[in-house]
Structure formats: structure tokens, C-alpha cells
């Protein structure tokens, strides 16, 4: 029997029978005296159960101050392994967090988890330091904006926001109906129905400059529609008119490329020379070109011709920065 099951049973036995001796509890639980002592201490010190030892009865009972009063242990129980998993999930959320918003709301839960693990002699804080999640190029989202977006999403309300469209360097006011939050490459996005343009759009939360939750009910779209329209492209770029990129990785890079997921619908296969060919769908060249540039000479675009030419141009522009005519940059 797990500890969480045992402490629940101890509390239930004392409640139903009024009092039980230490031996009676041992017989019911079939544990060692040391284990039972630890469970009783855990109930009193960590969970606040009003259990005390009565010398006259030679038994454990609820204290006189609690007679006639209702006392309930928490209704949701976790094993120690599950508590460790919750700690790791909290650590992950902390790394994904925008200005500490999520961590702040989860703090009471975290404190309770630390308390429940404390009886096992485990330093939960030290445990969390042994897990590190690196989020490069993180773009933080101001806490108030994240909270308002989340509030509108969960309460199914429309959201009014001032938004910077960075590609055009334009600011605009618009009302949207939030459909879902998306976390991608160290920043947050909102998939929402834009009432200004009457279509589904994806907004970067760090580009929001003002936000207000409206009383108007949000327009609800089937999640299948949201997924079909927003998830078909490559990376964060949404759309439905897809093209397929054919990429060839050299034998050295193939060792890693063959194990990577560039897109859920990708197709790949090994080549006779040890290279690897990967086919991935995309709707906008922007992000796939950036990822291909990171691969340098280890990947070659085979098709389509437009993507191949775009990557060739970008490589030429990058090479020009290091040519003989390039001006050396001064000290930082």
C-alpha cells in the first residue's frame, strides 16, 4: 500500500471508530512500527490532521477541539513518483513562463508539493536544481498581457488589442476571438479569429502593445478547423496552400537529420551514399529558409526551384559579408 493510501486509511479508521491503538493500526495497515510513526507524523505535521495520542485510552483519536467539527484530508492524492513528476512539470513551466505569470499562480501548489515530500526527507528545491531547461532566443511576454489573453481564452471572451505587425512595421487596433495558445521556440503565440479581417490569424504575444478583455462572447470555431488551417505549414507560419521541400543531407549530418522531426507529416529515407533525403511541407519560405541556413553546407535543397534559389541567394548574401570587399566591424 502506498503512503498516500495509508494515511487516508488511518484518517478514515480513526474517524469511523473514534479511536485506535497503535497495535490496532499496525494490524490494519500491515506495516512496520517505524513506518506507522512516520505516517502519523506526516498526517499531523504536513496535512494538519487533528490526530493526537490519548494516554488514558492508549489510542489515537481526533483532539477534543475538533469534536463535532468537519475535517477532511485533501481529495486529490499523488504518489511520491507523481509528485516528483509535478515538480519537473513546474520546472518546465517556469522556463516557458512569461514574466513569472504561470509560476506565480502555481506557487501555492508548489508549496503544498514541497510539504508533502518533506516527510520523505527529500529536498525538493535541490531536486529541481538538477533539471535545467535551456530556452535560447527567448522573447518574454509582459505578464499583464499574458494574463489578459489567457483570461479571454478561458472565459471565451473577445479580446481588444493594439498589435504591432513587425513585417510591415504597422500598428493596428483589432478585436479577436481567442482559440488557443501556442508555445513555439521559446515564445508564445495566439491563434484567434480576427474580426477585422474575418479570418484565422496567428499573433505573437510579445508584439501585443495593449490588451483588454471585452464582454462580448468569443466566436467559437471547431478545433479541427483551427488545426487544419494553422498547423499545415512549416513551423509557426500557417496556411493551407502547401508546397513540399526536398532536402538532401550529407552522410555526416544524416546521422542527426534522420532522427529529427521538422514537421509531423515529413517523409524521409536513406540514400545509397549514406546521405538522407527529407521531404517537408511548407506554406511560407521564411522559417524553412532560416533553418536551412543554419545547416550550412551539410544540406542541399533539391526542390522546388524557388526555394533552392532563395537559399542560394541568402548564402551568397552571407558570403558577401566575409569577402575581400567587406568592411571589418569595429569593437563592440
Per-residue model confidence as pLDDT tens digits over 163-216 = 998 878 889 999 999 999 998 887 889 999 999 999 999 999 989 999 999 999
- pLDDT top residue among 165 and 86: 165
What average pLDDT does the segment 270-276 reach?
95
Which of the residue ranges 5-14, 71-80, 295-304 would you say has the lowest mean pLDDT?
A: 71-80
Which triple of cell numbers denotes residue 284? 511560407
Please determine, for residue 71, whether its predicted confidence score (pLDDT) is greater than 60. Answer: no
Q: What is the pLDDT of residue 187?
A: 83
3-state DSSP of the chain: CCHHHHHHHHHHHHHHHCEECHHHHHHHHCCCHHHHHHHHHHHHHHCCCCEEEECCCCEEEECHHHCCCCCCCCCCCCCHHHHHHHHHHHHHHHHHCCCCHHHHHHHHHHHHHHHHHHCCCCCHHHHHHCCCCCCCCCCCCCHHHHHHHHHHHHHCEEEEEEEEECCCCEEEEEEEEEEEEEEECCEEEEEEEECCCCEEEEEEHHHEEEEEEEEEECCCCCHHHHHHHHCCCCCCCCCCCCEEEEEEECHHHHHHHCCCCCCCCCEEEECCCCCEEEEEEECCHHHHHHHHHHHHHHEEEEECHHHHHHHHHHHHHHHHCCCCCCCCCCCC
pLDDT given at position 234:
82
Residues 6+ apart with CB under 8 A from 30: 1
Question: Do the beta carbons of residue 187 and residue 138 sit within 8 Å?
Answer: yes
- Confidence at residue 268, expressed as pLDDT on a 0 to 100 scale: 95
Question: Lowest mean pLDDT: which of 77-91, 112-126, 249-263, 298-312?
Answer: 112-126
Question: Taking residues 283-300, what's their average pLDDT?
Answer: 92
Rounded Cα distance between 15 and 21, Å, is 13
Cis before 63? omega within 30: no
Residue 274, pLDDT > 90, answer yes
How much is the average pLDDT of 43-59?
A: 84
Is 224 or 134 the better-scoring residue by pLDDT? 224
Where is average pLDDT lowest: 21-30, 38-47, 64-73, 107-116? Answer: 64-73
Instruction: With a cut of 90, say whether residue 267 has pLDDT above it.
Output: yes
Among candidate residues 137, 112, 117, 140, the one with its CA nearest the CA of residue 127? 117
Rounded to an integer, what distance in angstroms lies between the CA atom of residue 212 and that of residue 21? 60
Average pLDDT on 77-88 reads 66
- At 121, is the pLDDT very low, low, confident or very high (cuts 50, 70, 90)? very low
What is the average pLDDT across 22-44? 88
- Once rounded to an integer, what is the mean pLDDT over residues 74-96? 64
Average pLDDT, the chain: 82
pLDDT at residue 92 tops 80: no
Residue 120 pLDDT grade (very low, low, confident, very high; cuts 50, 70, 90) = very low
Angle in degrees, 0-180, between the axes of helices 143-155 and 101-118, rounded to the nearest 10: 80
pTM: 0.63
User: What is the arrangement of strands in the sheet containing 157-165, beginning at the earlier edge strand?
Assistant: 199-204, 187-194, 170-184, 157-165, 208-217
Domains and CATH numbers, the chain: 3-66 (1.10.10.10), 80-129 (no CATH), 143-230 (2.30.30), 243-320 (no CATH)
pLDDT reported for residue 47: 76
159, 192 Cβ separation under 8 angstroms? yes
pLDDT score recorded for residue 241: 78
Q: pLDDT tens, 126-166?
A: 666 666 767 676 777 777 888 899 899 999 999 999 999 88
259 φ/ψ angles, rounded to the nearest 5 degrees:
-105, -5
pLDDT > 90: percent of the chain? 40
Amino acid at each position: 500500500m502506498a503512503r498516500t493510501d495509508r494515511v487516508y486509511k488511518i484518517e478514515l479508521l480513526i474517524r469511523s471508530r473514534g479511536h485506535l491503538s497503535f497495535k490496532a493500526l499496525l494490524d490494519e495497515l500491515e506495516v512496520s512500527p517505524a513506518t506507522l510513526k512516520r505516517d502519523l507524523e506526516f498526517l499531523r505535521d504536513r496535512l494538519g490532521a487533528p490526530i493526537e495520542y490519548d494516554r488514558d485510552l492508549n489510542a489515537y483519536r481526533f483532539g477534543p477541539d475538533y469534536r463535532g467539527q468537519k475535517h477532511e484530508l485533501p481529495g486529490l492524492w499523488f504518489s511520491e513518483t507523481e509528485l516528483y513528476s509535478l515538480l519537473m512539470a513546474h520546472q518546465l513551466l517556469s522556463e516557458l513562463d512569461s514574466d513569472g505569470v504561470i509560476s506565480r499562480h502555481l506557487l501555492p501548489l508548489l508549496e503544498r508539493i514541497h510539504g508533502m515530500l518533506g516527510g520523505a526527507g527529500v529536498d525538493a528545491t535541490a531536486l529541481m536544481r538538477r533539471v535545467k531547461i535551456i530556452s535560447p532566443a527567448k522573447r518574454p511576454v509582459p505578464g499583464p498581457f499574458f494574463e489578459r489573453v489567457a483570461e479571454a481564452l478561458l472565459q471565451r471572451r473577445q479580446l481588444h488589442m493594439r498589435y504591432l505587425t513587425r513585417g510591415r512595421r504597422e500598428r493596428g487596433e483589432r478585436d479577436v476571438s481567442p482559440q488557443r495558445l501556442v508555445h513555439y521556440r521559446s515564445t508564445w503565440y495566439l491563434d484567434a479569429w480576427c474580426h477585422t479581417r474575418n479570418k484565422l490569424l496567428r499573433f505573437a504575444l510579445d508584439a501585443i502593445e495593449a490588451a483588454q478583455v471585452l464582454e462580448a462572447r468569443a466566436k467559437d470555431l471547431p478545433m479541427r478547423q483551427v488545426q487544419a488551417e494553422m498547423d499545415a505549414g512549416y513551423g509557426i507560419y500557417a496556411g493551407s496552400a502547401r508546397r513540399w521541400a526536398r532536402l538532401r543531407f550529407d552522410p555526416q549530418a544524416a546521422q542527426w537529420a534522420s532522427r529529427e522531426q521538422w514537421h509531423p507529416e515529413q517523409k524521409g529515407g536513406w540514400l545509397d551514399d549514406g546521405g538522407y533525403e527529407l521531404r517537408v511541407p511548407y506554406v511560407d519560405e521564411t522559417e524553412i529558409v532560416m533553418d536551412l541556413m543554419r545547416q550550412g553546407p551539410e544540406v542541399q535543397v533539391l526542390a522546388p526551384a524557388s526555394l533552392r534559389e532563395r537559399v542560394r541567394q541568402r548564402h551568397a548574401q552571407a558570403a558577401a559579408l566575409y569577402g575581400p570587399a567587406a568592411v571589418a566591424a569595429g569593437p563592440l
